């Protein structure tokens, strides 16, 4: 009996020591990721929303445009750093760091599509304060789609940049997905797993293999900015990641696309994976959708082929 108790005490002590070491390692990783401070923010650049403070920028003058970044690992308004100033020459341009991303607060909650629908509608009403055109990238296209259905008084023309497959959005959390979410959100050990998944090397490989047409266009500053963003908020940085990967942010947008009265323009990168099939999904539901392909680009044409992207956007907005 004494031997059994001794083993339990030893195991508990080793577990506690291991947890302590991992906790310190997690803190060091989070702190070191912020050293370059590529995503500065001031207090007057925040919208005080009911679920947390949301970072945004405003520049230029003219009709408003809201730029909404994708939700891949480390995403933030930095995504629009090469295009926002150019668009601001003719428009009032707003960029936003979605809740759980970049410089915005990252509450430890389950993130859903409707959460971002509410955020975009509230932000438009309380910050922009007039009907706005929108350019959204990747998964965020689903947010603005549902937001248009939720409140059609907020948004005007909509531009999708490489939107997600509609069929993929119909997939809902399975038991395996729920288990993954639980593991990632588990204190200390789950945080370590998250840090391993969103390492700088992983982010760099993601850009080189999946996001850029020309891997030699991927620059260190961009990778550092995404790495910094992925770790801002320390322990809480992982919650949006776990929600999306576990499909809690998915929603069927078929009916909303079919019934949207907004003018919709889909831009795809020349080398984007399954771009033709994805565009066809949208066109089958709404034949009034216009489309265009940006040459020599992949998932981020607004980062890789800025002139081509701006020409396509400008031609559409002046119609």
The Cα–Cα gap between 64 and 70 comes to 20
CB-CB contact of 207 with 222 (8 Å): yes
Per-residue pLDDT of the chain (319 residues; tens, 9 = 90+): 556 556 555 555 555 665 566 655 556 656 666 788 889 887 779 999 999 999 999 999 999 999 999 999 999 999 999 999 999 999 999 999 999 999 999 999 999 999 999 999 999 999 999 999 999 999 999 999 999 999 989 999 999 999 999 999 999 999 999 999 999 999 888 898 999 999 999 999 999 999 999 999 999 999 999 999 999 988 899 999 999 999 999 999 999 999 999 999 999 999 999 999 999 999 999 999 999 999 999 999 999 999 999 999 998 987 6
Query: Which fold is adopted by the domain 43-317?
Result: Rossmann fold (3.40.50)
Nearest to 294 by CA among 262, 319, 263, 265: 265
What are the phi and psi torsion angles at 98 (to 5°)? -55, 150
The Cα–Cα gap between 231 and 199 comes to 9
SS (H, E, C) 91-145: EEEEEECCCCCCCCCCCCCCCCHHHHHHHHHHHHHHHHCCCEEEEEECCHHHHHH
SS (H, E, C) 37-80: CCCCCCHHHEEEECCEEEEEEEECCCEEEEEECCCCCCCCHHHH
Any bridge partners for residue 293, and if so which?
268
Per the listing, tokens 């002046």 go with 318
Nearest to 224 by CA among 209, 207, 244, 212: 207
- Per domain, the residue ranges of the chain are 43-317
CB-CB contact of 224 with 118 (8 Å): no
The Cα–Cα gap between 298 and 254 comes to 24
């Amino acid at each position: 009996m004494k031997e059994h108790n001794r083993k339990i005490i030893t195991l508990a002590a080793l577990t506690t020591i291991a947890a302590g070491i991992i906790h310190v390692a997690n803190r060091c990783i989070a702190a070191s990721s912020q050293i370059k401070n590529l995503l500065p923010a001031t207090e007057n650049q925040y919208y005080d929303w009911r679920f947390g403070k949301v970072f945004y920028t405003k520049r230029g003058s003219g009709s408003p445009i809201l730029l909404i970044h994708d939700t891949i690992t480390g995403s933030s308004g930095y995504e629009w750093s090469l295009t926002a100033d150019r668009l601001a020459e003719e428009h009032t341009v707003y960029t936003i760091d979605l809740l759980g991303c970049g410089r915005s607060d990252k509450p430890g909650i389950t993130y859903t599509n409707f959460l971002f629908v509410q955020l975009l509608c509230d932000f438009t009403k309380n910050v922009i304060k007039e009907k706005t055109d929108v350019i959204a990238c990747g998964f965020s296209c689903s947010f603005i789609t549902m937001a248009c259905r939720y409140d059609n008084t907020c948004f005007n023309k909509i531009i999708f940049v490489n939107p997600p497959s509609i069929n993929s959005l119909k997939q809902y959390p399975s038991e395996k997905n729920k288990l993954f979410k639980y593991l990632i959100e588990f204190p200390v050990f789950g945080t370590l797993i998250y840090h391993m998944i969103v390492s700088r090397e992983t982010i760099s490989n993601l850009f080189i293999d999946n996001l850029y047409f020309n891997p030699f266009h991927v620059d260190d500053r961009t990778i550092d900015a995404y790495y910094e963003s992925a770790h801002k908020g320390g322990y809480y940085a992982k919650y949006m990641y776990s929600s999306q990967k576990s499909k809690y942010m998915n929603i069927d947008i078929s009916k909303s696309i079919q019934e949207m009265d907004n003018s919709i323009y889909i831009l795809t990168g020349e080398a984007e994976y399954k771009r033709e099939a994805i565009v066809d999904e949208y066109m089958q539901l709404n034949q009034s959708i216009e489309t265009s392909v940006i040459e020599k680009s992949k998932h981020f044409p607004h980062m890789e082929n800025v002139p081509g992207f701006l020409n396509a956007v400008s031609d559409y907005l002046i119609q």
